[in-house]
Amino acid sequence: MVKFLAFFRNAPFFPLAVLAAFVFLGVFGEWIAPHDPVEGSLMDSLTPPFWEAGGKWKYPLGTDSLGRDILSRIMGGAGISLQIGILVVFVAGLMGTLLACLAGYLGGAVDTVIMRVVDLVMSIPYLVLAIVLAAILGASVYNIIIILGAVIWTYYCRVLRSEVLRLRESDFVRLAVVGGCSKGKIMLVHIFPNIVNTLVVIATLNLGTVIIAESSLSFLGLGVPPPSPAWGSMVADGRDYVGQAWWVSFWPGLAIFLVVMSFNLVGDWLRVRLDPKFRQMAGGS
Amino acid sequence: MNRYLLRRLGQAIITLIGVSMVVFLLTRMSGDPALLMAPQDATEKDIERIRLELGLDQPVHVQYVKYAWGVLRGDFGRSFRFDRPALDMFLERFPNTLKLSLVALFLAVAIGIPTGILSAVKVERGFDRFGKIFALFGQALPRFWLGIILISLFATTLKILPTSGMGTWKHYVLPSVTLAWFATASLTRLSRSSMLDVLDAEYIKMARIKGLPEFWVILKHGFRNAMSPVVTMLGLQFVALLNGAVITETIFTWPGVGRLIVEAIFARDFPVVQMCVLIASFLFVFINLFVDVLYAYIDPRIRYQ
């Protein structure tokens, strides 16, 4: 326990608090939201936030064009964004790690084939690839996870493969080979535990990227289908009312910004904490 | 050098063949093109005729070879929607995207690199705090949200800039800022960390010891050495800008390739989608290849890896 707490010394307080708050909303949002996130009352459409003229306390952050409470929708959207983010990172991380171990450790033809596939996927602009896939497979939460997972695993594979290559030449792995350890066991017992730290760092930094990618798809109308309160589609809802109702787009965008920034800050902290050698990782929309 | 060049060229060609296969198969998966092309009241017989005309009765690999042969001769198929060559539609729109991306790239370089360098020089002090917050904001602000906020501030509230479309220089301001935002932040981050590495080097200490003014130490010995990873990134950033154009052009209804892709996807106009994806990948692969080869030319160590 003491060891566990010591890990969090120097942890960035603000981003962790923001993430904790959004995770809480994601899990309990349905029960504590003041209104139904999907049903609105047309009588109250485009009500401004409470401090503006015409605003009501009933709708603290205002309502959208269908009279739906924006606060409740943001609470509902937290669950969607975080779930998609975490599942995509899980799928991509699993696939990327597995293939990185195979490519890096086995080398030869396996390595060549896997890395050519990585090059192939990376050479198509990822947002373009994702919208093409979304248009073909159709928009659903399930499909978004598959689509983004299928695009993003390449980052994991590329970064982790170079780690595996480095580990393969290390003394303890050579010793295991001499000791008659099987290839599968070497990868699982000797190599995998040594790339976990890097994996955790990439995954945290990647969560922000995935959330932006998911909301970009939803913004274009190719992501989470309506009427689900996805943050990206909420921003898109406000596009037509920019002049008269700034709040419709503003709040969900702020939520995305806060969550993504927090994941990036926590990722930066973890990077220094877990692996001082680890440098930059590219990504973003 | 020649062997290295050949190997890299071979890899690039294999990647492109792979991309063309993936794109071809993906669009085939999306449904029968004959059904998409046929008018609403077409009979079964009409559809069969279109299918024969398009060669859809042949095996998939024959169809692919035909398609690939067409692409090599610059024939990317015809748009279902407008019944004209897809390539013409692309070429009409491409200059607009290029103009916007170049303005954005200029902004990103002009703001990002000096900010990063100054941050590194003043590390953990005044300007660096600003630089770090700037980089953080740039990487976390969703582009589509930034665009809408900019429109609501400068176009609908202050009414000093147009909301959308293309025309005078004023039309460039909001879209190029939106597009450049992320790249600027990445360049700030990268030039900061690269400059920090360089400032640690022995030759910087040497330059200081021999009494060179700090300004020249930074500019001549620091800046020039710190720029090599930044230049590599620039090529990739430029392609990333084309990627970002999809969102930016949609928000500002900019008549470029990004919007063409989105429009074509919603209209299920797959030949156009196919071509845009292919050309985007061509650009990516060749810019990468060019940067790598340039690097190998400058730095012999890379060739023997």
Q: How far is CA A176 from CA A97, A100, A187, in A?
A: 21, 20, 11
Query: Tokens in use for B210?
Result: 């021999």
User: pLDDT tens across A210-246, in order?
Assistant: 999 999 999 988 888 888 888 999 999 888 888 788 8
Whether residue B130 contacts residue B137, with contact meaning beta carbons closer than 8 Å, is answered with no
Region B219-233 average pLDDT: 80
0.90 exceeded by the pTM? no
Tell whether the model's pLDDT for residue B60 goes beyond 50: yes
| ipTM value | 0.84
Judged by DSSP in three states, A63 sits in: strand
Q: Residues near A70 by Cβ (< 8 Å), separated by ≥ 6?
A: A59, A61, A62, A63, A64, A234, A247, A248, A251, A252
pLDDT computed for residue A99 by the predictor: 95
Using alpha carbons only, what angle is made at residue B154 by residues B153 and B159, rounded to the nearest 5 degrees? 115
Distance CA A158, CA A4 (A): 31
Whether residue B76 contacts residue B275, with contact meaning beta carbons closer than 8 Å, is answered with yes
Chain B nearest CA to A260, separation (Å):
5
Distance CA B34, CA B54 (A): 8
pLDDT computed for residue B299 by the predictor: 66
Could A220 and B30 be called an inter-chain contact, meaning their C-beta atoms sit closer than 8 Å? Answer: no
pLDDT computed for residue B229 by the predictor: 78
Could A257 and B145 be called an inter-chain contact, meaning their C-beta atoms sit closer than 8 Å? Answer: yes
- Nearest to residue A230, comparing CAs of A244, A243, A240, A220? A220
The larger pLDDT score, comparing residue B178 to residue A34, is at: B178
Chain A nearest CA to B136, separation (Å):
7
Among A29-33, B115-119, B251-255, whose mean pLDDT is lowest? Answer: A29-33
pLDDT computed for residue B288 by the predictor: 81
**In whole angstroms, how large is the CA radius of gyration of chain A?**
22
Region B179-201 average pLDDT: 87
Domain boundaries, chain B: 31-75, 93-298
pLDDT computed for residue A203 by the predictor: 92
Provide the 8-state DSSP code for B85.
B
Mean pLDDT of the residues in chain B: 83
Chain B nearest CA to A123, separation (Å):
5
Distance CA B207, CA B214 (A): 9
User: pLDDT tens across A240-262, in order?
Assistant: 888 788 888 999 999 999 999 99
**Residue count (chain A):** 285
By the CB < 8 Å criterion, does A38 face chain B? no
Q: Residues near A106 by Cβ (< 8 Å), separated by ≥ 6?
A: A183
Residue carrying structure tokens 């690199």: B113
Tell whether the model's pLDDT for residue A100 goes beyond 70: yes
Distance CA A21, CA A199 (A): 25
Whether residue B257 contacts residue B93, with contact meaning beta carbons closer than 8 Å, is answered with yes
Distance CA B190, CA B192 (A): 5
Name the percent of chain A lying above pLDDT 70: 96
Residue carrying structure tokens 């485009």: A46
Domain boundaries, chain A: 67-282
User: pLDDT tens across B15-26, in order?
Assistant: 889 988 888 888
The larger pLDDT score, comparing residue B21 to residue A38, is at: B21
Contacts of A242 in chain B (CB under 8 A): 148, 151-152, 155-156, 163
Q: Which fold has domain B93-298?
A: MetI-like fold (1.10.3720)
CATH number for the region A67-282 comes to 1.10.3720.10
- Please tell me which of the candidates A136, A239, A264 has its beta carbon nearest to residue B29: A136
Q: How many helices (H) and strands (E) does chain A have?
A: 11, 0
Among A35-39, A148-152, B191-195, whose mean pLDDT is lowest? Answer: A35-39
Whether residue B116 contacts residue B170, with contact meaning beta carbons closer than 8 Å, is answered with no
